[in-house]
């Protein structure tokens, strides 16, 4: 058992941390020695007592076993996750990263941090990586504050454990300071190598899915659908498309153990509170393939920050966190009892779990998982079409169009009732539109969203009918107006495409190796519009520049670094190309990125 307590310089915050019994897997992996400020006697989820402008980090492989799955995990300072780095806004920080790996390059990307492109840590784009035995010094000034994270951008190291949290103290007093403050970093653990995953998925796209519709599940489906005929019709519609309504996550709990601050569910990570205290939880989804739906039964969560930027507080019972997103929530447990932080994977094949408790080693009740989501024709980009309706019936205009989207090519020059609110009414139309047109059906793309719809008001598949208050993107409202009031002078429309059967991913029906860079002029104000033609969510991350989501909040649109594009949806955000350089732009589902859903954005 570990215990530590500290008081911040500004006296605002007091933090304590206790690990529960059974955290043995992680204990073995705690840092062997303190090598620099803040690293050392630090336990998972605990934020260092003081910020530091200098960090020395070592990357190596450590034998770690969690949930009976052993791995020589590439990681920082011998722990998974790596140490929490605490910085202060306005300071220039230096991080010396030493590669002690025997034969592989490494890198650290500072996810969501605005910095010169040479410091962004993407091998091939920002620099040439860190060779074995070498030390690279990252140095950049912090213009922002909030919760972020770091991870390797080399090979598959991130998927195996090379990631950690970053907390940046604001210069001004933090409006969301709490008596307790914990990082809650969610991730996955498996002894299956990511290369094997890719190879298996290339051979069989549902390799890891054991929740498919079967003869055995037909009776239940018939009951839910109202009749056997309706259930059969829906099944035929899906099999006709050669897709599966049960395709939620490509890689599942069959091989993954879901971690909370490096602890398996049995490890039961503990965070302490005194009844009545306000507790800030900084959720980071550091997994490579898993979305989590998070709730703390018995507690209302006040969402106060998204992707490091403060938002007007939103009280919720639950929220979905896409891969690479962060959300800060505040809870105020009043009773003298244990509360469970319950983070079920989107496909409901497992969950990460921890406990908030007034005393160490308490165990909160673990709720049952919800039913797994099932994809619908909305996810296929067919608007609200019923299964079995033919494409011809719905492709034709008039009544079907209202409220929905339409074939992409028409969008640029036609006013759309459903879309109007996302474009600023007062703004002149963008001068220039890069519209690729509907993507081709080809080897690399198996579907075209005929009627992509606005899904910003939806919390996501599987969360629409839970009876709980679940966060959606439309609720995100920044606490201060955006820094760049200019309307966009250019719109870039991109289709998210893929072929699940061949397991190829990309934009506009092309993978990375067949595409050119997206070029932006320095200072240019651009609207990115994403149309998701696939039936899966994609967390799209633009390095180096903010993505300002056009969610109907006008000047108070939220600034994000990673945005979930929901299946069958159309979504827009604004970008100011204010930092020159070559930036990565990709789906943060690691296997999708590696298999082509990746672009370079060059600001020149």
| Residue 71 beta carbon to other proteins: minimum distance, rounded to whole angstroms | 20
The interface with other proteins within residues 122-161 (CB under 8 A) comprises 122-129, 153
Task: Report in angstroms how near the CB of residue 233 gets to other proteins at its nearest.
Answer: 13
**Does residue 313 bind other proteins (CB under 8 A)?**
no
Residue 517 Cβ vs other proteins, minimum distance, rounded to whole Å: 4
Q: Cα(222)–Cα(536) distance, rounded to whole angstroms?
A: 25
CB of 508 to other proteins, least distance (A): 5
What is the sign of the dihedral through the CA atoms of 416, 419, 425 and 430? negative
Site string for other proteins, 450-469 (x = CB under 8 A): x-------------------
Q: Which of 203, 398 has the CB closer to other proteins?
A: 203
Site mask for other proteins (CB under 8 A), range 189-228, x = bound = ---------xxx-xxx--x--xxxxxxx------------
469-498 residues in contact with other proteins (CB under 8 A) are 492-494
CB of 254 to other proteins, least distance (A): 9
- The torsion of the CA quartet 286, 288, 290, 292, rounded to 10 degrees, works out to 10
Q: Which is nearer to other proteins, 51 or 544 (CB)?
A: 544
Edge-to-edge strand list for the sheet holding 135-141: 69-76, 54-66, 92-99, 135-141
Number of residues that bind other proteins (CB under 8 A): 80
Give the one residue of 315, 365, 371, 437 binding other proteins; rule: CB under 8 A.
Answer: 437
Smallest distance, other proteins to C-beta of residue 335, A = 41
Taking the complex as a whole, the smallest distance from the CB of residue 405 to other proteins amounts, in Å, to 11
Q: Which is nearer to other proteins, 202 or 480 (CB)?
A: 202
Nearest to other proteins of 92, 212 (CB atom): 212
Q: Identify whether 81 is preceded by a cis peptide bond (ω within 30 of 0).
A: yes
Record the tokens describing residue 279, joined without a space.
């507790």
Q: Binding string to other proteins for residues 72 to 111, with x set by CB under 8 A, is what?
A: ----------------------------------------
HSE-CB at 378 with a 13 A cutoff on CA atoms is 18
* Entry field: residues in the chain: 604
Q: Judge contact between 529 and 491, C-beta under 8 A.
A: yes
Smallest separation, CB 523 to other proteins (Å):
17
For the CB of residue 309, give the shortest distance to other proteins in the complex, in Å: 26
- 484, 524 contact by CB (below 8 A): no
CA dihedral 201→202→203→205, nearest 10 degrees, is 50
Question: Which positions ≥6 away from 257 have C-beta within 8 Å?
Answer: 66, 67, 69, 188, 189, 190, 264, 265, 350
Classify 258 as helix, strand or coil. Answer: strand
Residue 410 makes contact with other proteins by CB under 8 A: yes
Binding to other proteins (CB under 8 A) within 545-604 occurs at 582, 584, 586, 593-596, 598-600, 602
Interface of this chain with other proteins, residues 348 to 387, rule: CB under 8 A: none
Contact between 444 and other proteins (CB under 8 A)?
Answer: yes
H runs (alpha helix) in 367-478: 391-395
CA–CA gap between residue 299 and residue 316 (Å, rounded): 9
Query: How far apart are alpha carbons 184 and 44 in whole angstroms?
Result: 9
* 501-520 binders of other proteins (CB under 8 A): 501-502, 504, 507-519
**Radius of gyration for the alpha carbons in the chain, expressed in angstroms and rounded:** 23
Residue 363 CB coordination number (10 Å):
15
Tell the smallest beta-carbon distance from residue 91 to other proteins (Å): 28
Binders of other proteins among 3-62, rule CB under 8 A?
Answer: none
Q: Estimate to the nearest angstrom the gap between the alpha carbon of 500 and the chain centroid.
A: 20
Q: Out of 1, 236, 420, 431, which residue is the one contacting other proteins (CB under 8 A)?
A: 236
- 164 phi and psi angles, rounded to 5 deg: -170, 175
């Amino acid at each position: 058992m570990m215990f530590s307590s500290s008081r911040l310089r500004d006296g605002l915050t007091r933090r304590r941390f206790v690990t529960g019994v059974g955290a043995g897997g992680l204990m073995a992996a705690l840092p062997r020695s303190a090598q620099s400020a803040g690293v050392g006697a630090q336990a998972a989820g605990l934020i260092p007592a003081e910020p530091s402008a200098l960090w020395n980090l070592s990357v190596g492989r450590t034998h770690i076993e969690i949930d009976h799955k052993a791995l020589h995990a590439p990681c920082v300072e011998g722990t998974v996750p790596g140490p929490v780095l605490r910085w202060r806004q306005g300071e220039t920080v230096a991080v010396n990263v030493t590669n002690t790996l025997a034969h592989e390059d490494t890198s650290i990307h500072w996810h969501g941090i605005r910095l010169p492109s040479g410091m962004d840590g993407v091998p091939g784009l920002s620099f040439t990586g860190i060779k074995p035995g070498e030390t690279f010094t990252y140095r950049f000034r912090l213009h922002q504050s909030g919760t972020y994270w770091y991870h390797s951008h080399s090979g598959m190291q991130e998927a195996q454990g090379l990631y950690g949290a970053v907390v940046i103290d604001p210069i001004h007093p933090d409006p969301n300071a709490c008596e307790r403050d914990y990082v809650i970093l969610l991730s996955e653990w498996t002894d299956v190598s990511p290369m094997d995953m890719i190879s298996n998925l290339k051979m069989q796209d549902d390799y890891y899915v054991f929740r498919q519709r079967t003869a055995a599940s037909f009776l239940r489906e018939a009951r839910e659908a109202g009749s056997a005929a309706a259930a059969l019709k829906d099944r035929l519609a899906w099999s006709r498309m050669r897709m599966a309504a049960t395709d939620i996550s490509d890689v599942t709990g069959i091989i993954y153990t879901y971690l909370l601050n490096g602890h398996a569910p049995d490890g039961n990570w503990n965070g302490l509170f005194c009844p009545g205290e306000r507790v800030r939880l900084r959720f980071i989804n550091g997994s490579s393939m898993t979305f989590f739906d998070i709730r703390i039964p018995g507690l209302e969560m006040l969402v106060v920050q998204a992707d490091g930027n403060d938002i007007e507080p939103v009280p919720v019972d639950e929220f979905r966190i896409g891969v690479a997103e962060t959300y800060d929530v505040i809870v105020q447990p009043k009773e003298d009892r244990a509360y469970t932080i319950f983070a079920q994977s989107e496909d409901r094949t497992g969950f990460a779990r921890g406990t908030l408790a007034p005393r160490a080693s308490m165990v909160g009740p673990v709720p049952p998982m919800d039913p797994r989501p099932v994809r619908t024709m909305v996810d296929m980009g067919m608007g609200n079409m019923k299964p079995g309706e033919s494409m011809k019936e719905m492709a034709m205009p008039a009544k079907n169009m209202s409220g929905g989207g339409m074939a992409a090519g028409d969008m640029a020059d036609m006013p759309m009732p459903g879309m109007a609110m996302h474009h600023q009414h007062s703004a002149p139309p963008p001068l220039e539109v890069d519209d690729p047109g509907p993507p081709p059906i080809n080897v690399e793309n198996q579907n075209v969203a005929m009627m992509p719809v606005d899904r910003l008001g939806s919390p996501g598949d599987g969360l629409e009918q839970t009876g709980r208050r679940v966060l959606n993107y439309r609720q995100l409202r920044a606490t201060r107006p955006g820094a760049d009031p200019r309307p966009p002078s250019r719109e870039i429309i991109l289709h998210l495409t893929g072929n699940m059967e061949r397991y190829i991913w990309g934009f506009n029906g092309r993978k990375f190796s067949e595409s050119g860079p997206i070029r932006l002029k320095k200072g240019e104000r651009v609207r990115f519009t994403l149309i998701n033609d696939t039936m899966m969510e994609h967390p799209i991350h633009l390095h180096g520049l903010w993505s300002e989501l056009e969610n109907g909040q006008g000047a108070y649109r939220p600034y994000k670094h990673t945005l979930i594009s929901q299946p069958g949806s159309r979504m827009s955000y604004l970008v100011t190309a204010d930092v020159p350089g070559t930036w990565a732009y990709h789906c943060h589902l690691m296997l999708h990125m590696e298999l082509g859903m990746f672009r370079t954005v060059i600001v020149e």
